[in-house]
Amino acid sequence: RMDQALLLVRNELPAPGLRLAARAGPCHQCLYQFLAFVPPSNGSLRKPGTASVMVDTQHPLTLLLNSSVGETQLCKIQYHFGEFGNYSLVVKTLNASTKTVSCDLIINEGPVNSYLPILFAFLVYMGILAVLIVVRLFMKIDPVRNWVYKKLNPRETDRLINSELGSPNTTDSINCDPATHSWSTASRQRLHSLDTFRGLSLVIMVFVNYGGGKYWFFKHESWNGLTVADLVFPWFVFIMGTSIALSLSSMLRWGSSKWKVLRKILWRSFLLILLGIIVVNPNYCLGPLSWDNLRIPGVLQRLGFTYLVVAALELLFTRAESGTWEAPYPALQDILPYWPQWICILMLEAVWLCLTFLLPVPDCPRGYLGPGGIGDFGNYPNCTGGAAGYIDRLLLGEKHIYQHPSSSVTYQTTMPYDPEGILGTINSIVMAFLGLQAGKITLFYKEQHKQIMSRFVIWSIVMGIISAILTKCSKEEGFIPINKNLWSLSYVTTTGCFAFILLLLIYYLVDVKKLWSGAPFFYPGMNSILVYIGHEVFENYFPFKWKMQDSQSHGEHLTQNLTATTLWVIISYLLYRRRIFWKI
């Protein structure tokens, strides 16, 4: 099968036989899992005992061969098997007098290169990009451009609108003051980098949710660590916070009362949570909506609650803009004016730390951050997620949280655990607030591009240093490991570091130098809620999914997932051209 290889064990040793066990590389402090019993050889017939097993090829494996009597370790082999490969492990005696045992791994049939489809897909998309660049160059020729415009008569989107999770309001009132009019004109120039960032995160999220070609690095990490799939959700939360800063500033600047803005925040948050529970979470292909096993947490629910807290906090403490605020410390002049918000966020983080490390969890060690199951040598099988999992099971019930966490495969956990649970929401609020700080920087320095980019660099360095301290630059041995399931503090600071760097690059290319229009990611970024809900609702329908000829092929899965993702980009482009934007 996909991500598997065949291993034939040949035992040339006499009785009593062998026990073959294995442990996956990413499985930290895991128990060895029994694979097969290998019978002894038949000395009279000189026939070795054999056993065949399927082994995982996604990660390196450690194979352990013990005697079936006494559990004496005979050999231990670390090897990364290749997909669809055929291997033999020959166990024999090298020296009869010393009873020295050798274990030789032989490749009977070479594996396939399962990564070639990625290379082919990359070349295809690069070819499409090259064609588009050539077309754009031709469009710069006046006769060609005039002919195309005459034939197509495209309708440009003249009035840019707010995106659904908050972005700058582009409606300005008429002002006769030339200086004010200059700032008014600048404010209408929407930051395309924000929509591009949001769209990039969304496109990767759609691709990952559709399967990511069934490659392990396009799936969420089983527990501690980081993959491509683990980056996109916090990035989406980050850019939502950035957009909150710009949209609230715009609405208040043009006369909206705080009560009116608060009502809009409450309504938007309610709709996001409701859409997540009623539309996205249930699988209506399996039957009508049932409260008995309805999952309550979810991505949109997390976004809705995070938006509510961060936007309400910003609205509560925001002040009317009245000139430049003089800070006693120039290096902190874009932070100190917002000290009440920072105090609230730090208090929330203190709550997360106290609950995570001090809350007593039945039958689990205090402050446990592990996956349970066979991890930690099987000592805490029902402690998945520690306090975070316990709070969700206590308040929501086991049937109302995610039943198949990413830890269930590698760590063989049996407890339900929700990566969008209650406790992790605190750190998603922190992540959105970091994005809000990025938005404050763009507002504070306005068109001072060098200042904005230098602040982004400083923030990325600060986040990186905090991550290095919390993790000790280690995957497993840090004070607080990087963990998407827990939304750990180090996970927030690490993805926040990457978010500041990515926003800096996109801002420089799109809004400063204008070397890139943001296409094609700009278009789904302008219709992010529609694309997200649409891709979830229509996930199992043609043309986003079809019956495969070979379901054990990474290439066919990758083709299907890339096709579905590309279709949503095309849909968002067509909606953009027709000026159709779904806001809530």
Most distant CA pair in the chain, distance: 106
The Cα–Cα gap between 552 and 546 comes to 14
Q: For residues 476 and 480, what is the distance between their CA atoms, to the nearest angstrom?
A: 9
**Per-residue model confidence (pLDDT) at position 456:** 96
353 contact partners, CB below 8 Å, separation of at least 6: 489
Task: Please list the ranges in the chain whose pLDDT falls under 50.
Answer: 154-188, 322-323
Contact 526, 197 (CB under 8 A): no
pLDDT at position 97: 66
Q: What predicted TM-score, i.e. pTM, was given to this entire model?
A: 0.89
**Per-residue pLDDT, 197:** 96
Inter-residue contact 302 to 275 (CB < 8 Å): no
pLDDT given for residue 415 in this prediction: 93
Supply the pLDDT for residue 138: 85
**Tens of pLDDT along 50-76?**
999 999 999 999 999 998 777 788 889
Q: Please state, in angstroms and rounded to a whole number, the distance separating the CA atoms of residues 184 and 135.
A: 35
User: Which position among 28, 220, 400, 554 bears the catalytic label?
Assistant: 220
d(CA 521, CA 548): 28
Report CA-CA distances (Å) from 33 to 380, 398, 412, 415, 420.
16, 27, 10, 19, 30
Interhelix angle for 116-139 vs 554-577, to 10°? 30
Joined together, the tokens standing for residue 55 give: 């082994």
DSSP, collapsed to helix, strand or coil, labels residue 510 as helix
Secondary structure (DSSP) of 160-219: ----TT------------HHHHHHHHHHHS--HHHHHHHHHHHHHHHHHHTTGGG-GGGS
Return the closest-CA partner of residue 420 out of 401, 407, 404: 401
Whether CATH 2.60.40 fits 4-109: yes
**Half-sphere exposure in the Cβ direction for 7 (13 Å, CA):** 26
In the chain, which segments carry CATH 2.60.40?
4-109
**Which residues, in sequence order, are bridge partners of residue 38?**
18
535 is catalytic: no
Count of CB atoms within 10 A of residue 184's CB?
16
pLDDT tens column, 511-553:
999 999 898 999 999 999 999 999 999 998 999 999 999 889 9
CA distance linking residue 423 with residue 426, whole number of Å: 6
Cis geometry, peptide bond prior to residue 60 (ω within 30 degrees of 0): no
Which residue is associated with the tokens 């370790």?
Answer: 73
Closest listed residue to residue 214, CA positions, set 2, 481, 520: 2
